[in-house]
Structure 1
């Protein structure tokens, strides 16, 4: 699969997904200790889960869609973890069908979810501590909002694109306001908000080629760090400290016969330059999707797109020195899998959600998503 195609899949939040997944005794025997956690029985397959976030050990959200028969032809799905089990969160009567791409929460009382309906129009939901309500979508009907992030003191940010123009929006407590993006052309794939600031990630197309980009919001604009070819997209970023930045994405390389191939990419920015010596072995992973920390804020896990015909879900784990590939749940009859990870604050544990797809004569078909958990150590 080419980097351009996988990037498009991510940008559309279509991390291709699932059929039936089996987890037998081999799953429990895995030394990696990724454990499957049951989905609510009320989830209607075909379904997918695209993103997950947690505010504490007893509060987490996962979003996607159920009864999905196409890229967006489904019903929005939001699951909530209460410390004991995942349940399907009730949604208001929505005048549209579609799926959700991203979810973010800074506390149990405030969360955002963004997605799109079957026409491709962006949709936004907000949790007020009691229920989900639909919120007005800022911008024009052609804006594709892909990722939301929630930060301290009720702050929130949205990123996406309008055609080939990047879009950044900031919640000021009452309305969403546009913010000049860090580049003129390209697409933004991710946004992270912490006490250290706001970072966006994506793909800059201003030079005539796709180059991965990370930008930090400053008092006067953006401080941008670009990458060099063949790095074609940065999907997520982890800020471990001042001048200590980790990024996850993909590189587009040429294989035999000029075939475009995608390889996972990990970069470590030391405040001056990218150290790219820390790499994920590219035996099965095609593209890195998310990067999440341990309790101390150091990089711990990377969630990835894996294909074709993966035998298990796959992760990259950092041991403080190097990244290694780690197996999760066994998979049967799956063509491609896309996994996103989320750190559980206050612990060394991590949630993951995996969307799975099988190949069909008409393209791809969704199946049943996975939720896994690793308790660290």
Structure 2
């Protein structure tokens, strides 16, 4: 079962975006405050110190800003990305304080993958990927069209990186979305064939091993579908069996999460599932949260610890699951 961990009181205008963890005692949660208010939005990062969650002191940013992704290699190397004043926003934690890093411009930063202090990748809208080599930023075009972009990135190592997103085809009412998938090997970035789907977008990628890659794909009213790469081909994975309507939001290696609604209700309740090897198993929440409408649901794993977050009318909640 997930067990709640106390978090500092946060404004009702808080929106949660992403979570990363590097071990039992180190995790970070990224989001934005001031959403849908008259005040400029501002980036927010919570850090787990091993005993408590605390709000981080971030560098001052003159314009409204938001965070979309966060990734860490260890307790002294954490990267968060978002956007401010039409440019990508990059923050780096060195174990002592947060610093602003100024990358080349891309239309919109959506996700970051930190593999080492000198090997960081940022993806977002548009065909380019940004890479930090420890000294300089480099921008590389990895997609073939300006109407294509990436929103998720994962890896088994520096020479096996996967990124996915979507492109737009057609014009006007005939416009539709199609999934895109790229992979970086020792020879560079290449477009690769994903699951056999023609419409929608890749919303999440996660890696267990080079022969076990998890992909979440969304297509309109069909919702989210899960596929797995076995080293040779993509295979569809079954979806969790739920009463009512289940809207999946993301997938990790062996986990998926989202919200469920009951019949004749528009309230969304958090739902987390773990893969047993043959089927999905619902992971229970404390009764008070299981019955409470929620949004902004997410999850990250590190070793035997899984962190999850969700937002209710009462505020932000962080939960911890340890062991099998």
TM-score range, shorter chain: 0.7 to 0.9
1: distance between equivalents of 2:40 and 2:271?
Answer: 28
2: distance between equivalents of 1:337 and 1:35?
Answer: 18
1: distance between equivalents of 2:26 and 2:193?
Answer: 34
Quickly say closer, same or farther: Cα 1:172–1:325, change in 2 above 3 A.
same
CA contact (8 A) 1:66 1:75 kept: yes
Choose which of 294, 298, 321 in structure 2 pairs with 1:340: 298
CA contact (8 A) 2:300 2:307 kept: yes
State the match for 1:80 in structure 2: 47
**Is 1:134 matched up with 2:100?**
yes
State the match for 2:247 in structure 1: 286
| Aligned alpha-carbon RMSD (Å) | 2.7
Quickly say closer, same or farther: Cα 1:93–1:351, change in 2 above 3 A.
same
Q: Secondary structure at the match of 1:287?
A: strand
Gaps of 5+ in 1: 1-32, 253-260, 292-298, 359-366
1: distance between equivalents of 2:248 and 2:178?
Answer: 15
Quickly say closer, same or farther: Cα 1:325–1:210, change in 2 above 3 A.
farther
State the match for 1:224 in structure 2: 192
**Is 1:351 matched up with 2:315?**
no
The offset of 1:167, in angstroms, is: 2.6
CA contact (8 A) 2:128 2:143 kept: no
The offset of 1:173, in angstroms, is: 1.2
State the match for 1:369 in structure 2: 316
Q: Secondary structure at the match of 2:192?
A: strand
The offset of 1:337, in angstroms, is: 1.7
Aligned residues: 310
1: distance between equivalents of 2:38 and 2:227?
Answer: 31
The offset of 1:340, in angstroms, is: 1.8
State the match for 1:320 in structure 2: 277
Quickly say closer, same or farther: Cα 1:156–1:322, change in 2 above 3 A.
same
2: distance between equivalents of 1:160 and 1:44?
Answer: 27
2: distance between equivalents of 1:182 and 1:70?
Answer: 36
Quickly say closer, same or farther: Cα 1:301–1:277, change in 2 above 3 A.
closer
Quickly say closer, same or farther: Cα 1:183–1:374, change in 2 above 3 A.
farther
Quickly say closer, same or farther: Cα 1:220–1:78, change in 2 above 3 A.
closer
2: distance between equivalents of 1:275 and 1:217?
Answer: 21
Write out per-residue CA displacement over residues 84-140 of structure 1, whole angstroms, 9 at most, x where no aligned residue.
1100111122222322111111011111111123x4443221112210111113215
The offset of 1:156, in angstroms, is: 0.5
2: distance between equivalents of 1:136 and 1:81?
Answer: 26
The offset of 1:324, in angstroms, is: 3.9
CA contact (8 A) 2:23 2:305 kept: no
CA contact (8 A) 1:92 1:132 kept: yes
Gaps of 5+ in 2: none
1: distance between equivalents of 2:108 and 2:65?
Answer: 13
Quickly say closer, same or farther: Cα 1:330–1:72, change in 2 above 3 A.
farther
CA contact (8 A) 1:59 1:83 kept: yes
Give matches, 1:140-155, under 5 Å.
143-152=107-116, 154-155=118-119
Quickly say closer, same or farther: Cα 1:251–1:86, change in 2 above 3 A.
same
Write out per-residue CA displacement over residues 330-364 of structure 1, whole angstroms, 9 at most, x where no aligned residue.
354x4x623221112xx3220112245x8xxxxxx
TM-score (structure 1 length as normaliser):
0.74
Quickly say closer, same or farther: Cα 1:113–1:338, change in 2 above 3 A.
same
State the match for 2:20 in structure 1: 53
Give matches, 1:14-29, under 5 Å.
none
**Is 1:180 matched up with 2:137?**
no
CA contact (8 A) 2:176 2:199 kept: no
Choose which of 257, 281, 303 in structure 1 pairs with 2:257: 303
Q: Which moved more, 1:86-95 or 1:194-203?
A: 194-203
Choose which of 148, 155, 160 in structure 1 pairs with 2:124: 160
Task: Tell me: higher relative CO, structure 1 or 2? Use CA pairs within 8 A at least 6 residues apart.
Answer: 1
The offset of 1:231, in angstroms, is: 5.5
Q: Which moved more, 1:129-138 or 1:81-90?
A: 129-138
The structure with the largest strand share of the pair is 2
